[in-house]
Amino acid sequence: MAKYSSADLVVMVDNSGGTPTDMSAYVTDPGDFERYIATEKTTPIGSANETNASAGVSGVKDIKLGGFYDDTVTTGPHVIFNALGETRTLTVTWGGAKTSSVETIITSYKRLPKIKKLVGFEVTLLPTGAVTEV
């Protein structure tokens, strides 16, 4: 059984032209990639046990990426993520060849200056549409 660490992760996000850009060197907080299925409670009156049903819609919760700020003209997080409302394809390679890809909307981008610290960034990506896992 293979075991992977953060050193094995690759985070790719396409730029405004649709070209995948490796953001791994900038991301120090990869956040969570949490998939879910929407459900609805179906417990009838008088039942002693709670019941639920799948609503048939799946998705991925908001994804927050964080790391060190960089305004490098073509590849830095400032250039890739400072585009509120635009879409970006996020692809995470989990180690080996397993990947998860989803189209996202940039809903929040912030720079995080702190005294005696390097400037950081945090971006929130809202997944939209189907997840492709290979």
What ranges do the domains of the chain cover?
6-133
Q: Specify the DSSP element, H or E, that contains 77.
A: helix 77-81
Please give the model's pTM, rounded to 2 decimal places.
Answer: 0.90
Identity at 4, one-letter amino acid code: Y
Question: Which pLDDT belongs to residue 23?
Answer: 97
CB contact at 8 A, 78 and 71:
yes
∠ Cα 56 86 101 (to 5°): 45
* Mean pLDDT in residue range 81-94: 97
CATH T-level assignment (fold) for domain 6-133: Thrombin, subunit H (2.40.10)
* Mean pLDDT in residue range 15-40: 95
